[in-house]
A and B are shown apart, each in its own frame.
Chain A
Amino acid sequence: MLVAGAGIGGMQAALDLAGSGFMVHLLNDEPSIGGTMSRLDKTFPTGDCAMCMISPRMVESSRHPNVRMHTLARAVKVTGQEGDFTVTVAEKARYVDADRCTGCGACEAECPARVANVFNQGLDKRKAIYALFPQAVPNTRAIDAEHCLFLTRGVCRKCEKVCDANAVNFEDTDKEYELQVGSIILTPGLKTYDPAIRQELGYGRLKNVVTSLQFERLLSASGPFGGVVTRPSDGGHPKRLAWVQCVGSRNAHNANPWCSSVCCMYAAKQSIIAREHDPEVEATVFYMELRAFGKDFDKYIDKAKFGSGVKYRRAMISEIIEDPVTKNLRIHSVDEEGRLVNEEFDMVILSIGFEPRPDAAEFAKIFGIETDQYGFARTSKLAPVATSRPGIYVAGTYQGPKDIPETVIQGSGSAAQAMALLGESRGSEIEEVVLPEERDITGEEPRVGVIVCHCGVNIAGTVDVQKVAEAASHQPGVTHAETIIYACAPDGQQKIRDLIKEKGLNRVVVASCTPRTHAPLFQDTIREVGLNRFLFELADIREQCSWCHMNDKEKATAKAIEIVNMNVAKTRLLDPVTSNSVGVTHAALVVGGGIAGMTASLSLAGQGYGVHLVERDTVLGGLLNKVRRNLEGDDVQAYLDDVRNKIEQEARITVHLGATVAATEGFVGNFKTSLTDGTAIEHGAVLLTSGGAEYVPTEYGYGTSPNVMTQRELESWLAAGDPKASDRFVMIQCVGSREEPANYCSRICCQDALKNSIAIKERQPRARVVVLYRDLRAYGLKEDYYRKARDLGVLFFLYVPERKPEIIADGSGFKVRVDGKVLGGEMEIDADYLILSTGLRPREDAQQLSQTYKVTRNGDGYFMEAHVKLRPVDFPSEGLFLAGLAHAPKNLEETISQSLAAAGRAGTLLSRDNLTVSGIIAKHNRDICMSCLACFRACPFGSPFIDADGRVSHNEVKCTGCGICAGICPAKAFQVNCFRDDQILAMIDSVTGND
């Protein structure tokens, strides 16, 4: 498998594939993986820290035994076909040996060449030898050959001299090599629009005009100003901030015609966060339309408006003018009352959109795939992750503008497609490592070895490492303590292995860098000589000591001693941990036979697993049975028939019609479910694709006249005959949506209105179509259809929820009264047909399903995923997945992507023969448990359960080791391996123990 691009979508695809037993080559042309998401400060609509989310993914990608990372690398030639591709990879010289580099950064301090820091969007400078960002993976510097003084002019080599690890290698050369892969996933990501093209906005000319991505870096704690929003012209703290939306988007002139899908939301996020940084900030957003179409997005806009006082002004900005003295910026706009407003701001942020990368055309040529007229990879709306070339799939913004969860969904979805293609070769390239038997240390006194790492001068330059080792050697239970120049280097690890054998050590403490990245390495090292992996602690005296306290060597040494000693105190009490494993039933239960359930079932069957598809109705197809075409014109009914036929012919799928889930028990890999028709099913995974419901309107006289129709009814009406030239249609958007009791956007209704109004106008150009809307949410490439509708003469008028359209019956027709601000006063529109754009609601039985499977729903009644950004198709409980309208309103294309993703995630689980329980889990002592149920209520993963004796037992397979149960248990019947109470208390006692 080859994944070209290691942003969040590429990493998701790679980890899914690797997790199910495929060898994955992960290509990235930057020196670190991470992509666009690593440049973000926070994410909407939860305000989570982007780096905190993506960093564990990056570490996992770099450490997964089935992932080979190729950084500074890109594909230059692809030959062969589906199942058997040969990819030629060109890898640029890094000039730093990744095996030797410790990531200390001493070279960077010495490097005299200063270069604009592209990662920070040019807001500061970096050196010619650099890490892309502080959390870069691999954590290795690279030399920028274009700017290195030695490589350009033959002088300097300062980095080489200062590197104690001898990692700098100027002999390094560019390489070219071939990879044999069966399938390819393209995730090259995006470029942002260059706003300098629109000179009237002043970017590049006016200092205090910045892009939204620059503003992300200004907000970021690891950005150029440490998270203090700083005005470029004078370093001051800007109070009056303005965002200008749609810069480079929705404009075919010198910009891109599409909507970039994310800018409305990130502007809301940035304005909220800017206020959190500085409560005196006054934020104003100039926008054309608020496209908050995703799950819980409208609520986030409300938070910006009403919680953070962000002013939203619907106005297009024609220019930004700088005050030559203060460098403040003036914006003239016309408000909704038609008055000219003139405002001054300290800083203006341009909400720039996405476009395909500049090398997208060449990229498509190399991989031999077709693109659309804009340069995005061409896919069908009915097969959204398949490119034009069999065996090559696409995910993320290269397929069209989208945000993080949709990118992750397509990452998992394309992995599912590749898994189905190559199911038979699963596990063929994976090498198994043979380890010696574990030494039994039962009954042995603790014999702790302490290895204190110099890390060159990184630790030893600040901390007196000899003193630390000396202090450790006097701690009880310590058999041996010494220092080592680089503990993580191959010779350092050999030294650790030798010491364990020579000194008969049965526990090891390494005092060096952070356990987050390096503990697994040392755990492997001690395991190789027969010590249990969990007889190890890593004392962090670099990131959390020497690097922070360089100015006070004495205190830094004292702190390092304390850190090491408290880890020694804990290590004395460590016990070996054995991991149990349980088998996996290689079959899935899919609840709901709409297009989501059917798509997921076919994908799972294609991957080689048995599927039980349960549908409450007597036919498959769900809501899609009522849809004839999508916005793009595909014949949905033909597609649905085709899918139904495939389901019928697929031997691995058993369909249970007219049945629902009666009862379920079990856990990940081992569920038992009985259906209402009496069938009992054993399965390893559950997919909830139970769908949504159409809203039946009560508004605008629906039901009183056949001429008041929903969009769905209009579609059928249009299928029965052509409209007349004299027909007058008025469509009303957001009927029953975006207001209580369903205060969210249903996402599909704007697309429905565009679809039907285009159909009317194409067939009868003289018919009149008026669309009354609040915000026309034609996001992404759907903007093309909004433009097409306008070009065809469809009239769009705004209304506000405070003044909804009024309907007056007028013979067989209607008069629609609307407050037409644009035309300056109330309008009355004659209509023969009134079309209501009604939205989606959760199904009534969702409540019952949520109880059966113990999954939660959001305030609107839709199922809640494990994480809104990075785990969009997983439930928090392992083995449960979701897709389709049960998750949130979405269109057909998005439902198909999400269903493939859920099938991919489930397939990753079902591919295993055994699930090994993680070592760090809570252990339950049934003897002292009082079954008070505190744990039962507190556990987010449903691990504690009531057993056959009516007492609490603990399912270790579901446990993630968070320890909430241990914290809450009054009897202390729960203890987490390696974080037991006695171990933590020993640390506290050690650090408070000088008395």
Chain B
Amino acid sequence: MTADGEKIEERRSPEKPCEIPAGWKANIIAFACHYCAFAAADLAGVMRLSYSPNSKVIRLPCTGKLDHIYVLRAFERGIDGVFVAG
């Protein structure tokens, strides 16, 4: 999403990283396995570890369930990063 994320309009070259505006933070979707990475995200909370709030976890029964459509759809709709953990 984020308005910030979408403002980067110029065509990106895969070789040349574009300039990152000040204050911009990557918006990230994490696809996490129910049994391990999702549990790890819970543990981070139990231990009160702090990380950037710009990341949201989508729970999967196993990272084997991940479909390339999910990743493409997320990028297509302006997400900055996809994190697959399991």
Which residues of A come within 8 Å of B, CB atoms? 49, 51-52, 55-56, 134-135, 221-222, 226, 514-516, 540, 542-552, 555-556, 558-559, 562-563, 566, 920, 938, 961-964, 966-967, 976, 979, 981, 984-985, 987-989, 991-995
- Supposing A52-B39, A56-B35, A516-B42 touch, asked if A549 and B47 sit within 8 A by C-beta, the answer is no
CB of B81 within 8 Å of the partner chain: no
CB of B20 within 8 Å of the partner chain: no
Q: Complex: how many Å from CA A633 to CA B6?
A: 78
A988 touches B61 (CB 8 A): no
13 A-B pairs, CB-CB below 8 angstroms? Answer: A49-B36, A52-B40, A134-B43, A135-B43, A221-B43, A543-B43, A555-B53, A967-B65, A967-B67, A984-B70, A992-B29, A992-B78, A995-B78
Residue in contact with A976 in the complex, picked from B48, B53, B61, B79, CB distance below 8 Å: B61
CB-defined contacts of B53 to chain A, threshold 8 Å: 545, 548-549, 552, 555-556, 558-559
Q: Complex: how many Å from CA A222 to CA B45?
A: 11
B47 touches A961 (CB 8 A): no
CB-defined contacts of B77 to chain A, threshold 8 Å: 988-989, 992-993, 995
CB-defined contacts of B29 to chain A, threshold 8 Å: 988, 991-992
CB of B18 within 8 Å of the partner chain: no
A988 touches B73 (CB 8 A): yes
B64 touches A963 (CB 8 A): yes
Shortest C-beta distance, A54 to chain B (Å), equals 11
A966 touches B65 (CB 8 A): yes
CB-defined contacts of B36 to chain A, threshold 8 Å: 49, 52
CB-defined contacts of A543 to chain B, threshold 8 Å: 41-46
Shortest C-beta distance, A51 to chain B (Å), equals 8
Residue in contact with B44 in the complex, picked from A548, A556, A967, A993, CB distance below 8 Å: A548
Q: Complex: how many Å from CA A548 to CA B40?
A: 13
A964 touches B73 (CB 8 A): no
Q: Which residue of A lies closest to B63 (CB)?
A: A967
The majority secondary structure among interface residues of chain A is: helix
B60 touches A963 (CB 8 A): yes
Q: Complex: how many Å from CA A549 to CA B60?
A: 23
Q: Which residue of A lies closest to B71 (CB)?
A: A988
Residue in contact with A979 in the complex, picked from B50, B54, B65, CB distance below 8 Å: B65
Residue in contact with B67 in the complex, picked from A134, A540, A552, A966, CB distance below 8 Å: A966
CB-defined contacts of B35 to chain A, threshold 8 Å: 52, 56
Residue in contact with B3 in the complex, picked from A562, A964, A994, CB distance below 8 Å: A994
CB-defined contacts of A979 to chain B, threshold 8 Å: 60-61, 65
Given A961-B61, A988-B74, A993-B1, 11 more contacts at CB 8 Å? A52-B36, A55-B39, A226-B49, A516-B39, A549-B50, A549-B53, A920-B61, A966-B67, A967-B65, A979-B60, A991-B56
B1 touches A962 (CB 8 A): no
Which residues of B come within 8 Å of A, CB atoms? 1-3, 6, 29, 34-36, 38-51, 53-54, 56-62, 64-67, 69-70, 73-74, 77-79
Which of A226, A555, A991: most chain B CB closer than 10 A?
A: A991
Q: Complex: how many Å from CA A984 to CA B61?
A: 12
Residue in contact with A222 in the complex, picked from B47, B51, B59, B79, CB distance below 8 Å: B47
CB-defined contacts of A994 to chain B, threshold 8 Å: 1-3
CB-defined contacts of B57 to chain A, threshold 8 Å: 540, 544
- Supposing A540-B42, A566-B56, A985-B69 touch, asked if A992 and B61 sit within 8 A by C-beta, the answer is no
Q: Complex: how many Å from CA A208 to CA B62?
A: 41
Residue in contact with B62 in the complex, picked from A516, A549, A556, A963, CB distance below 8 Å: A963
B61 touches A962 (CB 8 A): yes
CB-defined contacts of A989 to chain B, threshold 8 Å: 73, 77
CB-defined contacts of A992 to chain B, threshold 8 Å: 1, 29, 74, 77-79
Q: Which residue of B lies closest to A963 (CB)?
A: B65
Q: Which residue of A lies closest to B41 (CB)?
A: A544
Q: Which residue of B lies closest to A133 (CB)?
A: B46
Residue in contact with A548 in the complex, picked from B45, B66, B70, B78, CB distance below 8 Å: B45
Q: Complex: how many Å from CA A992 to CA B77?
A: 6
Q: Which residue of A lies closest to B31 (CB)?
A: A984
B64 touches A967 (CB 8 A): yes
Residue in contact with B49 in the complex, picked from A51, A55, A548, A559, CB distance below 8 Å: A548
Q: Complex: how many Å from CA A55 to CA B65?
A: 22
B42 touches A514 (CB 8 A): yes
CB-defined contacts of B65 to chain A, threshold 8 Å: 962-964, 966-967, 976, 979
Shortest C-beta distance, B76 to chain A (Å), equals 9
Q: Which residue of B lies closest to A59 (CB)?
A: B39
B47 touches A964 (CB 8 A): no
A134 touches B1 (CB 8 A): no
Shortest C-beta distance, B65 to chain A (Å), equals 3
When A and B form their complex, which 9 residue pairs have the shortest distance between CB atoms, in order from nearest?
A: A963-B65, A543-B45, A964-B64, A547-B45, A992-B77, A962-B62, A543-B42, A555-B53, A134-B46
- Supposing A515-B59, A994-B1 touch, asked if A222 and B43 sit within 8 A by C-beta, the answer is yes
Which of A545, A558, A961, A967: most chain B CB closer than 10 A?
A: A967
- Supposing A55-B39, A515-B59 touch, asked if A962 and B64 sit within 8 A by C-beta, the answer is yes
Shortest C-beta distance, B5 to chain A (Å), equals 9
Shortest C-beta distance, A470 to chain B (Å), equals 19
Q: Which residue of A lies closest to B48 (CB)?
A: A547
Which of B36, B46, B56: most chain A CB closer than 10 A?
A: B46
Q: Complex: how many Å from CA A991 to CA B69?
A: 16
CB-defined contacts of B48 to chain A, threshold 8 Å: 547-548, 550
Q: Complex: how many Å from CA A550 to CA B29?
A: 20
Shortest C-beta distance, A329 to chain B (Å), equals 31
CB-defined contacts of A559 to chain B, threshold 8 Å: 53-54, 56
Q: Which residue of A lies closest to B5 (CB)?
A: A992
Shortest C-beta distance, A822 to chain B (Å), equals 48
CB-defined contacts of B67 to chain A, threshold 8 Å: 966-967, 981, 984
